[in-house]
Amino acid sequence: MNILVLNGSPKGEKSNTLKITKAFLEGLCSKQYHNVNMVNISEKDIQHCRGCFLCWTKAPGRCVIKDDMEELLEQYIKADLLIWSFPLYYFGMPSKMKAFLDRTLPTNLPYMRVNKKGTCGHPSRYDLSQQRYVLISTCGFCIMWRIIMTPSSVNLRSCSAIN
């Protein structure tokens, strides 16, 4: 299986999230061989999406910006498993990771399709029906709404263990 790890922490190899991701990979690869490609998003030249939609109109599937995304999108499409690994920043993802996500727009088709569940979205330009993804994230806040609502020693113990 081709595994593409997207490390979105600006801390690169020093990322706490990446430590968890590496432990996950260790478990996965202990069962059978997998081809793992680790990408440190912070080291890549990824400009922001310009919102021009030329990847849907004049040059279908191609972005006009010439940077590292060209190569990254090739790896993205070929991956059997995508691992999104990033810390929580203001309840979202670090900005460069978001830039990466925005720049996957050329992999989508310009029209929308209503799914079986009644939601709608853009179908993929490529057959990614076999592709799977995992999201691994860490954060700093130790208090969860559930804990505030129903404080119990068990919850508080697990909370301090996270920190």
Ligand X SMILES: Cc1cc2nc3c(=O)[nH]c(=O)nc-3n(C[C@H](O)[C@H](O)[C@H](O)COP(=O)(O)O)c2cc1C
State in angstroms the smallest separation of the CB of 151 from ligand X: 19
Q: Which of 24, 56, 89, 126 binds ligand X (CB under 6 A)?
A: 89
State in angstroms the smallest separation of the CB of 141 from ligand X: 3
Q: Which of 33, 91, 111, 145 binds ligand X (CB under 6 A)?
A: 91
Does the footprint of ligand X cover residue 9 (CB under 6 A)? yes
**Total number of residues that touch ligand X (CB under 6 A):** 14
Binders of ligand X among 104-143, rule CB under 6 A? 138-141
What's the CA gap between 155 and 157, in Å, rounded? 5
Q: Which of 16, 37, 47, 95 binds ligand X (CB under 6 A)?
A: 16
Nearest-10 Cα torsion for 62, 64, 70, 73: -50
Does the footprint of ligand X cover residue 88 (CB under 6 A)? yes
Dig out the tokens for 55 from the structure.
Answer: 């990847």
Q: For residues 1-26, b (16+ Cβ closer than 10 Å) or e, as one string?
A: eebbbbbbbbeeeebebbeebbeebe
- Tokens 């191609």, located at residue: 62
Q: Give SS3 for 119.
A: coil
State in angstroms the smallest separation of the CB of 147 from ligand X: 13
Q: Which of 4, 5, 15, 79 binds ligand X (CB under 6 A)?
A: 15
